[in-house]
Every structure is written in C-alpha cells, then in structure tokens.
C-alpha cells in the first residue's frame, strides 16, 4: 500500500446505520477510494442488498470484529439477561468508579492503533451516540483514533423528524426528576452531524458544541440515492392479489417515542376489518423496539391484514407497492414523499410534533374515522395537493435548509478535507 494513500473507516452496527451510511460509502467508491466497513455487531452483511451494490462499485473491504459482550448486552429477553445488561452498562460508563477501574486494569488499544496505522486510516466515521456506549471495540478504536490525531466524525444512523426535544419516555422521565442530558462525551468527536438545522439547534440547546455540531443534509434521502436505492432494493412480492383494493402500509415506530399503544392497536383493528383495503404492517427497522407480539396480534386482527413483516421486507419496496402509507414519527415518511405516494400522518397515535405537519407535507388525521375518510379518497384521487409542503420539508431535511446540492458528495468533501471547518462562512454546498 502506498505510504500516502489514506483510507476512511466506517463502523456499522445495525440495519439503520447501513441505510444512512451507504450513499456516503458509494460516493467514496465513485471517487475511486477504497473505504473499509468494520462490523462489530451481529448484522448479516453478506446478503444485504446495499452491500452487494457497494461491492459492484469498486474496491471495498469489510472487516468483522464482533464485540460479543456488547451483543450479549443487547439481549433483554428475560430477567437474567436484563440484569446482566444493566451490569454491563454500569461498567461501560467511563466516568464512574467501576468504569475507571475497568479501563485501568483491562483496557488495551494496541491492536486498534496498529490496525489504523497499517491500513492508513485518516478518518473514522461512527454513528450517533457517545464513544462509550457501543462497547469495547468502538471505544478502543475511538481512543486509538484520537491518540493518532485522526478525524472522528459521528453521522446520523437515522433521521429525526421531530420538532419537540422531549421525544421519548427516557427523556421525559429524567426531566421529571430534574435531570438534563449530559452531552459532554459527544463533544469529543471532531464533528457531530445532523441532517437539518431545526434538529441541530435543538441539540445545541442541550449542550452540544455549537461549532462541532453541524447540519450537512441527508444522503439517505437525497434524490439520486433514493432513486438508486429503490432500483436495487429487492421487490416486494405480496402474498395475495390486492389489485382491487386500496393498498395500505402501516409503518410502526419505536416503542419509547411517546406512542399510544392502545390507540395503535385500535387503529390496526379498524384497518384490518375494513373490506375495502389490503393492509401490510411493517415493524420498525430498529430491531428490539417492537411493542406487540406480532404472531399473537396478527391472529386477532381482521381479514384485511395481508402481512406483518420485519426487516426481511424493505420499506422502499413496500412503499412502491402501496397506494398510501401511514407513518407517525418515523423518517420513512420522507421516502413516501420522494416516491410521490400519499403520506397519512395520524397525529392521535403519539404526542410528539413532527416536520410533516409543520410543513403541511402530509395528510393529517386526528381519529380512526378521519383516517378511513382519507383512505376512501385515495382511489378517487380526491385529496389536497401537498407539493409545496413536500418541497419545503425536503429542503429542510435533505438539503440542510439550503438550495438543492449533491449531499453525498458534500459529506465526502467534508470527510476528506485537509482541515476541519469550524467557521460560519456560508460555504457553498456544491
């Protein structure tokens, strides 16, 4: 390997990370780079359609260093697993007594330092979060990278579409106890990246460094990548013929995001018992966030439920099949808008406020009755035009509140830049 040949290392944990990292990695490959993906969790990359596409673009290396203790800590199926996970999280804290003792006695970054040197790594790209909450492997690589003076950047593993900050039950519980978030560890990254200025400003108010915390846009939902992703995504093959009915997809969101489980269940009952629709329910792509027993509830719902699926069915292909998509709080609604499909936003299923209603980009409903009324209008194409609101929302989320630009290329330039840019100089997004 040439001495001056510099490479970029991307750390992948879960389905969502790969979803948002892929367009950036594709840009690196299109630029003739040979990036490395390091997978440290139990995610099957070998059969993933995005990995297959990335391999078709050029020379990409995939390295697996499984963090078995971290993987085990994510399993909380019973009391013993939950207890062990709790003990693990205590040890993982870098600023308590146990965490400090553990690092003093058992921590060694020699392998990681050597790996970064031998592979001429110049930048390490992590997902959102502190450097200390994803296990030993990530922390050791982060410490090694900082020690070597490499760039360390945290980029989105999802897309936050909320207006309010108290978006989940964990935050609310702490606020009620008078506890504000401690985000000092996140300020250790050279950049902490958000897609849009509204969410960036919200986190700066919570203590993120206003210089390092920047809005770069959304590569995942940029127009060109969205089209590519739709083309390479395995097609959805419905279990039954649904051409004579309104095809409805119901997208679940993560359980802690201030949702109303009773209202969601009632809505599923109403939809599944409507003879004029064909219903597919899709779990959140973030595994472990389910709040219903899929097998049990599927048997209890009505005959219009055609399928209840997980990550084995990909959201872009489901949206392509659908006539309308019901989304509450999830960023997958942006994919719905990019595909020019009807986005229904049931405000009554959660207590958060989102960019969808803020920009009037969705068809908002306040009850099951209003939901069915909108679905009934889908076939007749008798719905209000939302194009202006969609444009405003995409400008905010995809293009960081600016005019349209090549978002993956912008990430590439920022990551590869010789210098860190901490100036507010209205740099060109081209």
- In terms of domains, do 173 and 243 share one? no
SS3 169: helix
User: Do 258 and 189 share a structural domain?
Assistant: no
Q: Is residue 231 part of a domain?
A: no
Nearest Cα to Cα of residue 430 among 394, 392, 399: 399
Residue 2 belongs to a domain: no
How confident is the model over 252-272, as pLDDT tens digits? 987 777 889 999 999 999 999
**How many Cβ atoms are within 10 Å of 262's Cβ, its own excluded?**
9
* Co-location of 409 and 383 in the same domain: no
Q: Is residue 294 part of a domain?
A: yes
Instruction: With beta carbons less than 8 A apart as the criterion, state whether 329 and 345 touch.
Output: no
In a domain, 149, yes or no: yes
Query: Whole-angstrom Cα distance, residue 256 to residue 181?
Result: 17
pLDDT digits (tens, 9 = 90+) for 9-41: 999 999 999 999 999 999 999 999 999 999 999
**What are 379-405's pLDDT values in tens digits?**
877 899 999 999 999 999 999 999 999
pLDDT tens digits, residue range 134-167?
999 999 999 999 999 999 999 999 999 999 988 8
pLDDT interval class at 428 (50, 70, 90): low
Domain range spanning residue 244?
238-395
Average pLDDT of the chain? Answer: 91
> Could you tell me if 412 and 387 lie in one domain?
no
Q: Are residues 163 and 179 in the same domain?
A: yes
193 and 249 in a common domain: no
* 211 and 264 part of one domain: no
3-class SS of residue 281: strand
> Does some domain include residue 354?
yes
Question: In the predicted model, is pLDDT for residue 83 greater than 90?
Answer: no
Residues 270 and 198 in one domain: no
Q: Please tell me whether residues 260 and 290 are part of one structural domain.
A: yes
Q: Is residue 339 part of a domain?
A: yes
CATH number at residue 366: 3.40.50.2000
* Percent of the chain surpassing pLDDT 90: 69
pLDDT over threshold 60, residue 282: yes
Q: How confident is the model at residue 288 (pLDDT cuts 50, 70, 90)?
A: low
Residue 335 to residue 358: CA distance in whole angstroms: 17
423 within domain boundaries = no
Say whether both 148 and 111 belong to one domain: yes
pLDDT tens figures, 119-137 = 999 999 999 999 998 999 9
261 and 290 Cβ atoms separated by less than 8 Å: no
For residue 427, name the pLDDT band (cuts at 50, 70, 90): low
Residue 1, in any domain of the structure: no
Q: Are residues 77 and 153 in the same domain?
A: yes
Distance, CA of 70 to CA of 136 (rounded, Å) = 8
Strand-strand pairing, 246-251 and 324-327: parallel
Report how far Cα 397 is from the mean position of its chain's Cα atoms.
13
Domain count, the chain: 2
Quick one: 260 and 302 in the same domain?
Answer: yes
pTM equals 0.92
Length of the chain in terms of residues written: 430
């Amino acid at each position: 390997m040439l001495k001056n040949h510099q490479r970029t290392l991307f750390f992948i944990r879960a389905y969502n990370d790969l979803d948002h990292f892929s367009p950036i990695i594709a840009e690196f490959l299109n630029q003739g780079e040979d990036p490395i993906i390091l997978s440290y969790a139990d995610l099957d990359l070998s059969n993933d359609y995005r990995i297959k596409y990335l391999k078709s673009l050029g020379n990409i290396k995939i390295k697996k260093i499984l963090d078995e203790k971290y993987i085990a800590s994510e399993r909380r199926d019973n009391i013993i697993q939950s207890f062990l996970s709790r003990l693990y999280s205590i040890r993982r804290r870098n600023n308590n007594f146990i965490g400090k003792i553990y690092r003093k006695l058992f921590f060694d970054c020699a392998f990681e330092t050597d790996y970064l040197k031998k592979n001429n790594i110049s930048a390490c790209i992590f997902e959102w979060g502190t450097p200390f909450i994803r296990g030993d492997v990530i922390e050791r690589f982060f410490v090694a990278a900082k020690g070597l003076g490499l760039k360390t950047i945290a980029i989105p593993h999802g897309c936050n579409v909320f207006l309010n900050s108290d978006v989940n039950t964990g935050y609310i519980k702490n606020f009620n106890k008078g506890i504000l978030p401690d985000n000092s560890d996140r300020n250790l990254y050279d950049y902490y990246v958000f897609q849009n200025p509204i969410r960036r400003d919200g986190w700066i108010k919570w203590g993120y460094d206003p210089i390092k915390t920047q809005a770069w846009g959304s590569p995942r939902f940029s127009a060109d990548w969205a089209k590519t992703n739709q083309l390479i995504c395995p097609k959805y093959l419905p279990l039954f013929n649904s051409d004579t009915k309104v095809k409805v997809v119901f997208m679940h969101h993560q359980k802690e995001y201030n949702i109303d489980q009773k209202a969601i269940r009632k809505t599923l009952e109403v939809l599944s018992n409507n003879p004029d629709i064909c219903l597919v329910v899709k779990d959140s792509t973030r595994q472990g966030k389910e709040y219903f027993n899929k097998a049990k509830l599927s048997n209890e719902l009505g005959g219009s439920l055609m399928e209840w699926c997980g990550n084995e069915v990909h959201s872009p292909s489901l949206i392509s099949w659908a006539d309308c998509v019901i989304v509450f709080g999830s960023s997958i609604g942006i994919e719905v808008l990019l595909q020019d499909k009807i986005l229904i936003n049931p405000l009554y299923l959660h207590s958060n406020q989102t960019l969808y209603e803020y920009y009037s980009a969705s068809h908002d409903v306040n009850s099951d009755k209003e939901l069915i009324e909108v679905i009934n209008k889908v076939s007749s194409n008798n719905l209000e035009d939302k194009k202006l609101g969609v444009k405003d929302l995409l400008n905010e989320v995809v293009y960081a509140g600016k005019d349209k630009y090549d978002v993956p290329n912008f990430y590439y330039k920022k990551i590869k830049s010789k210098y860190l840019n901490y100036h507010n100089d209205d740099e060109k997004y081209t």
